[in-house]
Structure 1
Amino acid sequence: MGRYDLALIGFGGVNRALAELISQRGHRLAEDLGFTLRVVAITDLRAGSLVDTDGIDLAPLLAANPGELNFAGLPGGSADPRNAWVIREVPADIVVEATFTDPAHGEPALSHVRWALESGKHVCTTNKGPVALAGRALKQLAAEHGVSFEFEGSVLSGTPVLRTAQRLFGGLEITDVQGILNGTSNYILGRLEEGVDLPAAITEAQDLGYAEADPTADIEGHDVQLKVMILANEVLGADLRREDVLCEGISAITPHEVRDAASKELRWKLVGSATRHQDGSVEARVAPLALPAHHPLAGIYGPVNAVSFRTDLLGTVTVSGPGAGRIETAYALLSDIIAIHQRHAVDAAAPTRPVLLETHHV
C-alpha cells in the first residue's frame, strides 16, 4: 500500500480539520482509498513550524486549544513558521496550502504554491487567489515538473463543481455558468427579505461564523469575483484577469427592495456569471439580480452555494451544496489528494509503449 507524506502550510480551521480526518479516520481511509497519509511538517503563523520526517503525532496537537498551540517547545519544533524552508527542503510528497491570503495579489499562497511546484511536489490548496490570478501559469509549472496542482476547494468548498464540469460533462458544450458563490451574502439577502436591515444582518452572519470581522469581500462581491474567474478560466477556457470581471455587491440593496421583489415572486441573489459567446470571447460579471421563482438559483437559501451550467445537450444542470465549513473544505483537500493519487498511480502503472522505428530503404 502506498503512502503520501504531507506538509501542511497553515494550521487554522481547514488544515486542522484535515489533520483530524487523518488522525481519526486514517485506517478507514486507507482501506477505502488504497493509500495512507502521514503528516511530516506543519507550519503556522502563530504556532511556528514542526517537522518530523518519521511522521508527526497529531493527537496531542489536536487536543490542544488552537490559540495555545506552540511548536517551539516540541522536538523538531520552532517558533518561526519557516514556510519557504519547509516547502522547499522537507521531503514531502504533497504540500497542502491553506494560509490566509490577500485576494488582491494572491500572496503568500501564490509563492507557497510556486515554491512547492518548483521543488517537484504536488500541491492542493483551498486558496482562491493563486488559482484566479495565476492559475494557467501554475498549471504550466506543475506540468513542467511532472506534478499536480489541485484546487477543488477554491470555488465551492467541499462541493465538487470543477471536477463535475471537467470529468462528468465530457461531450457537452458548456456555454454559460451562473452561481451563488458566497454563502454569507446569500444568508444576508435572506434576512433582508425577512425585514432585518443590512448592519444587523451582517452582525448575525458574523455571530454565526459565516462572515469575517471585515465582511467587505463578501458584501461587495470581491470573493465571488475571484470564484467567477476560476470558473470562467477552468470551465469555459477563458483567461480572465480581475479587471475583466465587472463587480457589484449587495450593500446598496434595501430591505424594502428585497421584500417588494419577494411580493412579486422574485428573489434577490448575488450572482456570479460567465458566458462564452459565439466568437469565443467570455464575458463575466458579479451583480445582484432579482431572479424569478423558476430560476434554478432562486430557491437557494442561507449559507448554501450552487452553480448552474448551461449545456448544449442537457440544458441547465445545477450543482448545490455547502460553500463553507472547515470539515467540508477539508474534504475538498482530501478529494484533491485522491485526484493526485488517481492520476499519478495510473501514470505509474501504465505500460511503456514500444518505440516504432521507421526504416528507410535506399
Structure 2
Amino acid sequence: MRLRAVNVALVGFGNVGQALVRLFLRKEAELAQRYGVKITVSGIATGRHGMAVNPDGLDLQRALQLAAKNQTLDSLSERYCQDVDDFLQFCQAQVLFESIPVNYQNGQPALDILRKALYIGMHAITANKGPVVHGYFELSQIAREKGRQFLFESTVMDGTPIFSLFRQCLPAANLLSISGILNSTTNFILNRMEEGIGFSEAVEMAQEIGIAETDPSGDIDGWDAAIKLAALATVLMGIPLKPQEVEREGIRGLDRGKIEAAIEQGKRWKLVCRATRNGSKIRAKVAPEMVSTDSPMYNVNGTSSIVQFETDTLGILTIIEQDPSPDTTAYGLFADFIHAINA
C-alpha cells in the first residue's frame, strides 16, 4: 500500500508535546497499516529551547534527548526562524499541534497561532483551553472556510472523548446542564487534607508529583475549573461563556476543621463545577461543595475527574476519567489527528 505522507508541526514541547512524539513513534507501524499514513514531524517550536524546522523531517529521538537534557533544539533545524510566524511558514506542515501554557484571560498567544495556522491551510489541533473559550466560534468559522478542521479533544479531561461524543454520537441531543469535578489537582489536595495533611503541605505534594504549577493559584482559586466549564458550555451548549463570567470560589477557605466536619457527617468536600442553560444564557459556578455518598462525585479520588451531562434525550450521562497523565492528553491530540486527516 502506498503511504500518504503527512507533515505535522508542534508548537509546545513540554510533557504533552513530548508524549505526543513518543506516541507517533510507537504507533508508526499501526498508522501505516490501518490508515495508510506516514507522519513526518517537520517542525517543533518551544518556549525556552528554540525552534527546529526541516520539511524532510526532524530526528525525533534526538529531539526527545535534547529536551530531556534541557538543551536547545536549534541544532536540528535546517533554517533559522525568527518567530512563530516564520516557523509556521517554513515548516510546510499540513497539521499543527498546539500545547503551550493556557492564558485564562484571553487565550493568547495560542489563539493567534491557531488562527494563523488555519489561514495558511493547516488543520489546527490544540490541548489548550484558552483558544477554545476565547475563539471557538471564530476559529471554527475559519476552519470551515478553509476546508480544514479545528479540533480540541484534549482541552477537558485530558483526551477523554467528550466533544467527539457529542459531535458524532448524540445527534439532536440538547444539553441542559453540566456538573462535575474538572480540576484533578484540587481533588488530590482535598483527599490529602482528609488524611490529616495541612493545606500548604498538600499543595507541595501536588507540586512534587507534577500536577500543580510553581504558582498553583490557577488550580486552587478555581480558574482551571472555570475555564474547563466555560469550554464545555461554549462548545456543547453553543453559547459563549468566558471564565470571568463563571461565579468562582476556590478551596483556600477549606481548613482542617471544615474537612473533619464533613467527614463526621459522612460527606466530603469537592470543588464542583455547575452550568445550567437558561434560555439563551448560561448560569455557571465553580465552588466547594459537600457531597454525600449518594453522589457519583463522592468516590472520585486523587487525580481523577468526573462530568455529568443532563440532556433532553438520554437523561444524565456520566463520564469518569481515572488518574490521567500527559500520555492520555497526547492520545486526545493523536485521535483528533486521525479524525482530521480522514474528514
From the superposition, tell whether residues 75 and 107 of structure 1 become closer, same or farther in structure 2 (CA, over 3 Å): closer
Match of 2:65 in 1: 63
What's the CA shift for 1:169?
Answer: 2.2
Q: Once superposed, what is the RMSD of the aligned Cα atoms?
A: 1.8
Corresponding residue of 2:78: 76
| Structure 1 position 331, deviation (Å) | 0.6
Partner deviation per Cα, 1:253-290 (whole Å, 9 max, x = no partner): 1122122112222221111111113x343211111111
TM-score by length of 2: 0.94
The separation in 2 between residues aligned to 1:242 and 1:204, in whole angstroms, is: 27
Partner residue, 1:190: 191
In structure 1, what is the equivalent of residue 270 of structure 2?
269
Assess if the C-alpha contact under 8 Å between 1:47 and 1:81 holds in 2.
no
> Hey, what does 2:311 align to over in structure 1?
311
CA contact (8 A) 1:159 1:322 kept: no
TM-superposition CA deviations, 1:303-359 (whole Å, max 9, x none): 01111111234322111114742111111110110121231xxxxxxxxxxxxxxxx
After superposition, residues 240-251 of structure 1 pair within 5 angstroms as 240-251=241-252
Instruction: From the superposition, tell whether residues 81 and 221 of structure 1 become closer, same or farther in structure 2 (CA, over 3 Å).
Output: farther
Q: Runs of at least 4 residues of structure 1 off by over 4 A?
A: none
1:30 deviates by 2.5
Q: Does 1:25 align with 2:27?
A: yes
- How far off its partner does 1:114 sit? 1.0
Size of the aligned set, in residue pairs, is 341
Q: How does 1:104-123 map to 2 (within 5 A)?
A: 104-123=105-124
Pairwise CA distance, 1:240: 1.4
When Rg is computed on C-alpha atoms for both structures, the one with the higher figure is 1
Cα distance between partner residues in 2 of 1:300 and 1:249: 18
Distance, in Å, in 2 between the alignment partners of 1:98 and 1:243 is 22
In 2, the alpha carbon distance for the partners of 1:212 and 1:294 equals 33
Task: Identify the residue that residue 348 of structure 1 maps to in structure 2.
Answer: none
- How far did 1:3 drift? 2.8
Counterpart among 34, 49, 52 of residue 50 in structure 1: 52
Give TM-score scaled by structure 1 length.
0.89
Residue 88 of structure 1 corresponds to 89
Q: 1:73-113 CA deviation, whole Å, 9 max, x = no partner? A: 335154x5631111134311001111123222212211111
Counterpart-to-counterpart distance in 2, 1:293 and 1:146: 48
For residue 41 of structure 2, give the secondary structure of its aligned residue in structure 1. Answer: strand
Specify the alignment match of 2:337 in structure 1.
337
Structure 1 unmatched runs, 5+ = 344-362
Q: Secondary structure at the match of 2:305?
A: strand
| Partner in structure 2 of residue 134 of structure 1 | 135
**Structure 1, 304-313 or 329-338: larger mean CA deviation:** 304-313
Q: Secondary structure at the match of 1:64?
A: helix
Partner of 2:157: 156
**2:302–2:323 Cα contact (<8 Å) kept:** no
Is the contact between residue 158 and residue 322 of structure 1 (CA under 8 Å) also seen in structure 2?
A: no
Please give the alpha-carbon distance, in whole angstroms, between the structure 2 residues aligned to 1:258 and 1:233.
33
Contact 2:220 2:250 in 1 (8 A): yes
